[in-house]
Structure formats: structure tokens, C-alpha cells
Amino acid sequence: MEPGDEVLISACRRGDEAAWGILVDRYKRLIFTIARRSGLDEEQSADVLQRVYTILIERLDTIEQPARLSAWLTGTARREAWRVRRRERIAGARIGDVAEALNNVEDQDDLPEDLLLRLERQHQIRLAVEALDPRCRDLLTLLFLTSDPPSYAEIAVALNMREGAVGPTRARCLQKLRQILEGDS
């Protein structure tokens, strides 16, 4: 099981490159998704990702609530995506219209709060699934994270278990997942 954000932030402050690698891997998907859902293309989203991590490095010693790192990164990614969109809109305006564009920039493209909350919750669930033992992780992935979920018979063969054990095992795995998520809340 990987360490929590508080432990990782503390290790990063001490210069632990492995901890930094874990943090980057843990949050890169969330940050990139926020940028993409903001209407940015892949290259712009990658720039936002890089900028968010640069800001994190610059402000690492000032983060007062490491347990809320996910929320901090979400907010930072959102602001950086907004800046990129604004810069693109202004660059697309004619030179004579730049002053007017600056005065009339509306933030209509911002992500709704419910979408940001849903993205953050999806990220928490993904981390919780990763924290499960391999059998539960594999079972829940097959059941809920595949585009075409297999039948219980196919799952039993894939995981080398009795077909009748799939349902009860699923229930136990979901309970474990719930406990992990409630511990993070």
C-alpha cells in the first residue's frame, strides 16, 4: 500500500525523488483530465500538467494541509486551464481588440463544480481500488471498470475461482473498498 499524501509531501520536502515520483503518478491523470475537460487539446493539457507540478514544487514548503493535496491540485489545475484558455482567446483576437477582449473575458468555459467534484471522487476511487489486495482489485476491475463486463462464469475462469464465489467475493471486496474510501473522507 502506497503512503498517504501527508507522508509523501514530507518526504518530498526532504528531497526524496521516489516520493515525488509517486505523487506525480498518483495525480497526473486527474490533472490532465481536468485540463482536457476544460476544452484544452492534449498539448495544452500537458502544459497545464507541467505547470501544476512546477507550482507544487515552488510551493511545497507552504502547503499547510497535505491531506488536502488532491483539492489543492484540482483547484490549481482548474486555474491553469482557465489561464491557457484565456491566453488562447486573447491571442486569437485582433491586435486592436485586445484591450476590449481583456475587459470582456467571460469565464463561461469553467468547469461546473459538480464535474470537478466528480473527477476528484473518481480519482479517490481509483486510488482506493489500487490499494486493494490483487484479487479484489482484479475482480472489481473486471466487474466495473471494463467497457464490456464479463459474465460471472468468465470472471471465475479468469480469476481461478468458483463461479458461485464471485458474488460473495464481490460483496467483500466492495466492503473493503468502502472502508478505504471512508478512511480517506
Domain residue limits, the chain: 1-109, 132-185
pLDDT in tens, 82-134: 888 877 765 555 444 444 544 554 554 556 677 777 788 888 888 888 889 99
Distances (CA, A) of 156 to 73, 137, 151, 166: 39, 14, 9, 7
- In terms of Cα–Cα distance, which of 145, 117, 129, 90 is closest to 34? 117
Domain 132-185, CATH: 1.10.10
pLDDT, residue 8, reads: 92
CB distance 77 to 31 below 8 Å: yes
Dihedral, 74, 76, 78, 83 alpha carbons, nearest 10: -170
Domain 1-109, CATH: 1.10.1740.10
pLDDT, residue 143, reads: 85
CB distance 113 to 159 below 8 Å: no
Query: Amino acid identity of 158?
Result: A
Calculate the average pLDDT of the chain. 83
